């Protein structure tokens, strides 16, 4: 998490917000064109006070968004693409609501589209805040430029009802959808949101209905249901677009990247089955560890899946893909070290070639840090006069720069080593993992990733629990001896 912005980052973020504000004003004019149809200029002249009020209100809101991110999440301000993404979603939601409100019914506006999208690429707290901003923007636009000339309490109730729906059902949706792992789950959750959306729409309009009839109530319920259905449809339609445009790693995209149909995973499974199986277990371990220390578990899981793709270049040179014969027996230790350590760099290259997330490439190149390849170092030592530079038998680094890379380094080493342990009792696994973590600490592998001692202790504990679960000891099955009938 960024705690300080450089002068350049501050200047760039302020300019980005200024541009986004100007575009917000243009969006307001676009919405006016939708509301007023062809006669937009006379409409603006007639509502000049409203236009000024909305422009000032939008400016204040833009400034409040900046202040919020300045104190709560500077990472957003440090990335212009993130700022553009947030504003682009606000523009899109405002225009969609105006179009559907104008041509179908104000109750049918897709009010939940914005909150559902927000939570896919922002932290929950940030998503809640921007959702409130969206509700306020829509309310101000409705009150000053859309409904005010029509007067009457019905329009006022419509504005308040929209505000209440976005605040309450939107918030509810943000909490529910954050834990959903697939797109179908999203549809089901949104169907759950139908109930409060319909209740709010009916209750709010009861106060202004001249005559309360079943037909009138069903009409309102139908339009409120349309709000949810439009929201889901637009969510499903626009989410892949946001994923592609802004390189967003939503939980759905991450799941797709780790499915057996993902191109590199398919290749890994076909050409290096041993490595693929190893990656599956490392991914499980990384997910558990990330979740235990409050890191992004889905991201850790996906990055772990790709950490060893560099082995695709020479799969048969790695122990997990060899059957009986070890090809390294024919090679000098130096040549073996060259082949083994190249997999980190080759993996990063391959990930970039396939246009996969940068974090995956960082994890691939960092997952062995600058550790020595002990087996070949000792082999070379035995063949030498006893004076060797260990750096020539080590990975070149860099060491992990993120907590997720550190987790994957530990999960990777623990899995590979535990698999080769003859005794996998919880006590043995625990002492082994503890030694492994300590060794990496002594070799300064975590100096660049801000991980704390407490987090390393939690990771150790999680690895031991998960590994003893994966490699639990089985009771020896007695051999069945059948006596032949004579």
Nearer to Fe ion, 173 or 400 (CB): 400
Nearer to Fe ion, 296 or 308 (CB): 308
335: three-class secondary structure by DSSP: helix
Q: Which residues contact 113 (CB under 8 A, 6 or more apart)?
A: 93, 96, 230, 231, 234, 235, 238
Nearer to Fe ion, 262 or 312 (CB): 312
Of 226, 318, 223, the residue nearest 268 (C-alpha): 318
Q: Which residues contact 149 (CB under 8 A, 6 or more apart)?
A: 46, 47
CB of 430 to Fe ion, least distance (A): 21
Nearer to Fe ion, 127 or 413 (CB): 413
Nearer to Fe ion, 47 or 278 (CB): 278
Per rule CB under 5 A, is residue 346 in the interface with Fe ion? no
Nearer to Fe ion, 346 or 412 (CB): 412
Q: Which residues contact 298 (CB under 8 A, 6 or more apart)?
A: 181, 251, 254, 255, 287
Nearer to Fe ion, 47 or 341 (CB): 341
CB of 307 to Fe ion, least distance (A): 6
Binding to Fe ion (CB under 5 A) within 392-421 occurs at 412
- Cis omega (within 30 of 0) on the bond before 398? yes
CB of 368 to Fe ion, least distance (A): 6
Nearer to Fe ion, 147 or 366 (CB): 366
Evaluate whether 116 touches 186 at the Cβ level (below 8 Å): yes
Q: Structure tokens of 100?
A: 């559907």
Size of the site for Fe ion (CB under 5 A): 2
Query: Taking the CB of residue 416, how many other CB atoms lie within 10 A of it?
Result: 16
CB of 364 to Fe ion, least distance (A): 8
Q: Which residues contact 291 (CB under 8 A, 6 or more apart)?
A: 297
CB of 311 to Fe ion, least distance (A): 7
CB of 279 to Fe ion, least distance (A): 7
Cα–Cα dist 10/67, whole Å: 12
Q: Given the rule CB under 5 A, which of 4-12, 50-58, 307-315, 350-358 is the region that contacts Fe ion?
A: 307-315
CB of 11 to Fe ion, least distance (A): 41
HSE-up of 113 (CA within 13 Å, CB side)? 27
Residue with tokens 């450089």: 6
Residue with tokens 């600490």: 441
Evaluate whether 249 touches 299 at the Cβ level (below 8 Å): yes
Partnered with residue 372 across adjacent β-strands are 394
Binding to Fe ion (CB under 5 A) within 451-480 occurs at none
DSSP codes joined into one string, 76-130: HHH-HHHHHHHHHHHHHHHHHHHHHHHHT-GGGS-TTHHHHHHHHHS-HHHHHHH
Q: Given the rule CB under 5 A, which of 42-50, 197-205, 216-224, 303-311 is the region that contacts Fe ion?
A: 303-311
Cα–Cα dist 402/290, whole Å: 11
Evaluate whether 138 touches 96 at the Cβ level (below 8 Å): no
Helix 403-419 and helix 358-366, axial crossing angle in degrees, nearest 10 = 50
CB of 343 to Fe ion, least distance (A): 6
Phi/psi class of residue 295: alpha, beta or left (left: φ > 0; alpha: ψ in -120 to 50)? Answer: beta
Per rule CB under 5 A, is residue 308 in the interface with Fe ion? yes
Cα–Cα dist 206/214, whole Å: 12
Nearer to Fe ion, 295 or 308 (CB): 308
Per rule CB under 5 A, is residue 85 in the interface with Fe ion? no
CB of 412 to Fe ion, least distance (A): 4
Nearer to Fe ion, 101 or 369 (CB): 369
CB of 294 to Fe ion, least distance (A): 24
CB of 398 to Fe ion, least distance (A): 15
Q: Which residues bind Fe ion (CB under 5 A)?
A: 308, 412
């Amino acid at each position: 998490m960024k705690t300080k912005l450089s002068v350049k980052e501050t200047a760039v973020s302020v300019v980005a917000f200024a541009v986004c504000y100007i575009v917000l004003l243009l969006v307001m004019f676009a919405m006016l064109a939708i509301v007023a149809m062809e006669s937009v200029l006379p409409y603006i002249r007639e509502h000049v006070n409203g236009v000024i009020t909305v422009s000032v209100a939008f400016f204040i809101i833009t400034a409040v968004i900046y202040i919020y991110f300045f104190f709560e999440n500077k990472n957003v301000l440090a990335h212009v693409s993130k700022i553009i993404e947030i504003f682009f979603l606000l523009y899109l939601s405002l225009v969609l609501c105006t179009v559907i409100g104008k041509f179908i019914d104000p109750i049918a506006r897709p009010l939940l589209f914005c909150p559902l999208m927000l939570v896919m690429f922002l932290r929950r707290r940030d998503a809640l805040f921007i959702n409130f901003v969206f509700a306020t923007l829509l309310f101000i636009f409705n009150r000053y430029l859309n409904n005010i000339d029509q007067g009457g309490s019905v329009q006022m109730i419509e504005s308040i009802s929209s505000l209440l729906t976005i605040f309450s059902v939107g918030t509810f949706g943000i909490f529910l959808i954050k834990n959903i792992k697939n797109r179908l789950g999203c549809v089901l959750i949104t169907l759950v949101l139908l109930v409060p959306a319909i209740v709010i729409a009916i209750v709010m309009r009861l106060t202004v209905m001249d005559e309360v009839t079943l037909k009138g109530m069903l009409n309102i319920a139908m339009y409120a249901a349309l709000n949810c259905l439009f929201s889901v449809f637009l969510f499903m339609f626009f989410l892949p677009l946001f994923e592609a445009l802004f390189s967003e790693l939503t939980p759905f995209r991450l799941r797709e990247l780790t499915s057996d149909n993902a191109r590199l995973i398919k290749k890994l499974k076909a050409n290096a089955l041993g490595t693929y199986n190893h990656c599956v277990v490392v991914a499980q371990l990384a997910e558990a560890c990330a979740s235990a220390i409050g890191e992004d578990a889905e991201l850790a899981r996906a990055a772990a899946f790709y950490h060893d793709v560099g082995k695709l270049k020479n799969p048969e040179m790695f122990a997990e893909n060899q059957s009986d014969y070890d090809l390294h027996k024919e090679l000098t230790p130096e040549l073996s070290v060259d082949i083994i350590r190249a997999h980190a760099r080759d993996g990063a290259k391959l990930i970039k070639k396939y246009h996969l997330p940068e974090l995956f490439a960082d994890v691939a190149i960092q997952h062995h840090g600058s550790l020595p390849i002990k087996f070949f170092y000792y082999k070379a030592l035995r063949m030498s006069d006893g004076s060797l530079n260990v750096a020539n038998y080590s990975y070149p680094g860099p060491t992990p720069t993120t907590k997720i890379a550190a987790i994957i380094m530990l999960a990777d080493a623990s899995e590979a080593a535990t698999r080769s342990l003859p005794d996998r009792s919880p006590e043995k696994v625990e002492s082994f993992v503890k030694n492994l973590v300590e060794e990496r600490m002594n070799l300064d592998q975590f100096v660049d990733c801000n991980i704390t001692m407490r987090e390393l202790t939690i990771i150790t504990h999680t690895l031991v629990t998960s590994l003893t679960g994966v490699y639990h000891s089985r009771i020896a099955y007695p051999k069945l001896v059948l006596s032949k009938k004579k």
